[in-house]
A and B are shown apart, each in its own frame.
Chain A
Amino acid sequence: MTALQAVVLTLVGIVGVATVLCYDPRRQAVVNGLFGLLLTLLFTVLAAPDVAMSAIVVSSVVYPAVVLVTVNRTRHPGPERPERQDGGPARDPAGSGGDR
């Protein structure tokens, strides 16, 4: 294992732990995108460019976008859905309609 491979592997481990330690799901999605970027770097350093090309788009663009939209949608139900009367958990106190 070369020094570059060892360094990138360590970084992947660190950012992976950081992803788990994030509390807010929206922040976690973005850190997961960074994790995907580091994974892409790892695949490039290990001489697998095809995998790296798929990984960079799927884990930095598609996956965080899908997760962020899902989190937004489930936190702020649409106008037709009944709001919870007892003030359910994970209610955004600002009450904004979600951001992009």
Chain B
Amino acid sequence: MSPSRRRALLFVVPGAVLALALVVAVSGIPDFGSMIHEYARHVDRSAERQRHVSNLVVSVVFDYRGIDTLGEESILFTAVMGAALLLRGSRAVLEQMPRDPSGSDAVRGYGSAFVPVVLLVGLWTVAFGYVTPGGGFQGGVVLGSAAFLVWVVGSYSVFRRVTPELLIHVAEGAAVVGFVTVGLVALPHGEPYLTNVLPLGTPGQLTSGGTIAVLNGITGLAVAAGVVLLFHEFLQEQIQTLPGAREERG
């Protein structure tokens, strides 16, 4: 008997015991939504009254725990910059890169129809982030995927023309700086860093939330720019695998 078959047979009995134990354990744990944390209860009671937003998750992310989101922004920025630094090697001119047009008419047809739809959905998710489920992160990644769809439908040169590198870099940096600066706005008011000091408005409208609205938009810009930068680097690597690619180091 081959070693892999022996291993498979050895697994059958312990596997069955493990499966039974897992089923018993999972059926014994409390139901979803049966134990609500005290903090969640507090946010549910007071967040809409205190911050005038209807998306309580966003109120926690950008206001109550805004400092954690600042850390997340830095992580995203560092990760994208790290990937760009590691993958930055080829300086081949865009016109000399091998052509990679999309081969399928169906992809081109349906994709072209969907690019503006995805773009609009992304912009809407960012804009209404504090009114309906969504937010800066969610809308930002949807916008990044709209850019990716441009590559799927067209070629790499079209993708690069639609997302100019300088603009994306400036957007990414400006968004991170903007987040830090919005926090500083609270300091002249005598409040701690990142306190919500702008007028709060009426919940359920676009003009609500104060700094939550501003931070939401800034995060959307940062995440979208970060995802597009990531795609820049990785699709450039993909281009190098095509026949006819010429890689110039340094």
Contacts and interface: CB of A to CB of B under 8 A. Distances in A.
Given A78-B245, A98-B238, A58 B134 contact: no
Given A1-B31, A54-B141, A98 B235 contact: no
A68 to B, nearest CB: 8
Interface residues of B, number: 36
B243 interface: yes
A79 interface: yes
B105 to A, nearest CB: 15
B247 A62 contact: no
Contacts of A53: 125, 133-134, 138, 142
Interface stretch (B168-176, B198-206, B209-217, B226-234): B226-234
Interface residues of A, number: 25
B141 A62 contact: yes
A79 B141 CA distance: 33
Nearest to B235: A69
A100 B238 contact: yes
Nearest to A57: B141
A25 interface: no
Contacts of A65: 148, 231, 234
Interface stretch (A27-35, A42-50, A83-91): A42-50
Contact of A97 (B125, B135, B242): B242
Nearest to A68: B238
Given A50-B134, A65-B148, A57 B142 contact: yes
Interface in A56-92: 57-58, 61-62, 65-66, 69-70, 72-73, 76, 78-80
B57 interface: yes
Contact of A50 (B138, B230, B246): B138
Interface in B144-194: 144-145, 148, 152
Given A57-B142, A57-B145, A62 B240 contact: no
B5 interface: no
Contact of A80 (B100, B231, B247): B247
A62 B146 CA distance: 11
Interface string B127-147: 000000111011001101100
Contacts of A98: 238, 241-242
A62 B246 contact: no
Given A72-B238, A78-B241, 9 more contacts: A46-B32, A47-B33, A50-B135, A53-B133, A53-B142, A57-B144, A65-B234, A70-B237, A79-B240
Across chains A and B, which 7 residue pairs bring their CB atoms closest together, nearest first?
Answer: A49-B133, A98-B241, A53-B138, A57-B141, A97-B243, A78-B240, A61-B145
